[in-house]
Amino acid sequence: MELKEARRLKILTEPVFLLLVKTSIPTIIGMLVNVIYNLTDTFFVGILNNRSMTAAIGVIFSFVSIIQAVGFWFGYGSGNAMSKKIGEKDYKEAEIISSLGIIFAVASGIIIAVLSKIFIIPLVNLIGGNASENLMIFSVKYLDIIIVSIPFGLYSITVYNQLRLCGNVKDGMTGLLAGMFSNMILDPILMFKLKMGFIGAGYATLIGQIIGCIVLTVLSNGNIPISISKAKCNKERIYHILAGGLPNFSRQAITSAALILLNVTAARYKESIIAALTVSSKVIALAYMIMIGWGQGFQPICAMNYGAKKYERVKKSFIITVFCGTVFLIFSAIILYIFSEQCIGTMTRDKEVIEIGARILRLQCFTLPFIGFFAVSSMLMQNIGQYFLALIISVSRQGLFYIPLLFILPAVYGEFGIYLAQPVSDFLSFILAIIIVGNYYFKIIKRS
């Protein structure tokens, strides 16, 4: 109890900027590793110099993103509710909510895995893996292995987010990194040393997920211990888990749906566009995920101080988080624009894919700085309990704007319209976030 109280007092009393740095460094490191982790399969498969294999990684990633969305739903929903309860010094309730979140995640994972295994061919067709015969074959083979990892992945994401949102960032990140590093090490061993080729990447992911689960379970006693036996359902707990995590689920799920629609749209032109979109999205994700890591450092500060009714600290931490994040994204956009071809070239040797990917990357650099305010605004609304406003901001980038633009812009500009969709969507979602925060921010935060 002393450790929990000390962690709570630190978040409620330490200078905001220094506290943001302390809470965000582990999450930024985790996000960096996560980006590298997501790049690993693409990088090593790229060495095989097979365009269909690279495209298959992108196709299956859209499905994996949907699975991650479920984990974020239960992880963020339960973790956010737990953090506010800790701010109120109600540790017993936090443990109950933790148990419920984990049960929801694992049960969902098992159901999704079974259904995915049964309907694997229709599933690959649905997510855009039927652009060519080779793409279909590689997508099915890779997905067949990834399906087994689904329950382990949902468990890991849920426990990690519970630990992180309750202020125990270090242990949560250690568990997550253990699985990622295992995957990264196993990729070249299984693919080349053991001569498993493309399929080795899938097995490396599966083993990494299992290792991550084990380490997270061992480390979970640092704040709120995992205790399934304490799970007790009531309407209020279920509401806060489901409603509190809905913005994260919706954002990730709609992003996944957008990726699937993008693959289907790009398939009308040529396979190289799918590969280029896959590679360029993973490169731009490097800057975006670092920004998200910085924003995640803001979340426990926001939720816990809001629970303790320290509204001025919530407002101050929001302003500092947005300012620093935007400055970082400006510098990132400049660097990625200048070295776009070199960045894309690290992921593939295909000259056509490099040319198209660099063009897509440069366009996205123009609106990259706007993403900081957009992302942190959604986190703010979610952590103070304004779930509906958080939901609107969260789904706007890929749902309200990107998906309609994928129909409109290619119809007007053809292939170039596909490249324009994401930058235009980023700018429009930034404007919407400004309107929502401008109208509601001071009403919500200013209580005294």
Query: How confident is the model over 295-350, as pLDDT tens digits?
Result: 888 888 888 888 788 888 888 899 999 999 999 999 999 999 999 889 888 777 77
Q: Which two tokens stand for residue 423?
A: 């930058």
Q: What is the mean pLDDT of residues 11-22?
A: 85
- Whether the pLDDT of residue 67 is over 90: the answer is no
Q: In whole angstroms, give the CA distance from residue 415 to residue 412.
A: 9
Which of the four pLDDT bands, split at 50, 70 and 90, describes residue 2?
low
Instruction: Decide: 209 and 179 in contact? Cβ < 8 Å.
Output: yes
% of the chain with per-residue pLDDT over 70: 88
Instruction: Decide: 201 and 142 in contact? Cβ < 8 Å.
Output: yes
Cβ contacts of residue 45 below 8 Å, gap of 6+? 53, 54, 57, 191, 198, 201
Query: How confident is the model over 177-186, as pLDDT tens digits?
Result: 888 888 888 9
Q: Residue type for 133, please?
A: E
Q: Who has greater pLDDT, 24 or 349?
A: 24
Q: In whole angstroms, give the CA distance from residue 10 to residue 15.
A: 9
- Whether the pLDDT of residue 222 is over 60: the answer is no
Burial of 234 from C-beta contacts in 10 A (0-12 / 13-18 / 19+): exposed
Helix (H, G, I), strand (E, B) or coil at 375: helix
C-alpha closest to that of 108 among 147, 65, 154, 146: 154
- The pTM of the full predicted model, rounded to 2 decimals, is 0.69
pLDDT value of residue 232: 75
- The packing angle between helices 415-445 and 311-338, to 10°, is 160
Query: How confident is the model over 417-429, as pLDDT tens digits?
Result: 888 988 999 999 9
Share of the chain residues as helix, strand and coil, in percent rounded to the nearest 5: 90, 0, 10
pLDDT value of residue 41: 67
Buried b (16+ CB within 10 A) or exposed e, 126-164: ebbbbbbeebbebbbbbbebbbbbbbbbbbbbbbbbbbb
CA torsion angle for 137, 141, 144, 147 (degrees, to 10)?
-100
Q: Which two tokens stand for residue 237?
A: 């707990």
Q: Residue type for 403, please?
A: I
Q: Who has greater pLDDT, 236 or 114?
A: 114
Cβ contacts of residue 110 below 8 Å, gap of 6+? 151
pLDDT value of residue 221: 59
C-alpha closest to that of 100 among 244, 230, 248, 250: 230
Q: In whole angstroms, give the CA distance from residue 241 to residue 74.
A: 6
Q: What angle do CA 275, 280, 286 make, to 5 degrees?
A: 135
Cβ contacts of residue 135 below 8 Å, gap of 6+? 52, 55, 56, 59, 129, 271, 274
Q: In whole angstroms, give the CA distance from residue 30 to residue 23.
A: 12
- What is the DSSP-derived secondary structure letter of residue 144? H
- What is the DSSP-derived secondary structure letter of residue 130? T
Q: Please give the mean pLDDT across all residues of the chain.
A: 82
Which of the four pLDDT bands, split at 50, 70 and 90, describes residue 39?
low
Handedness of CA 340, 346, 351, 356 (dihedral sign): negative
Instruction: Decide: 84 and 306 in contact? Cβ < 8 Å.
Output: yes
Handedness of CA 359, 363, 366, 368 (dihedral sign): negative
- Whether the pLDDT of residue 223 is over 60: the answer is no
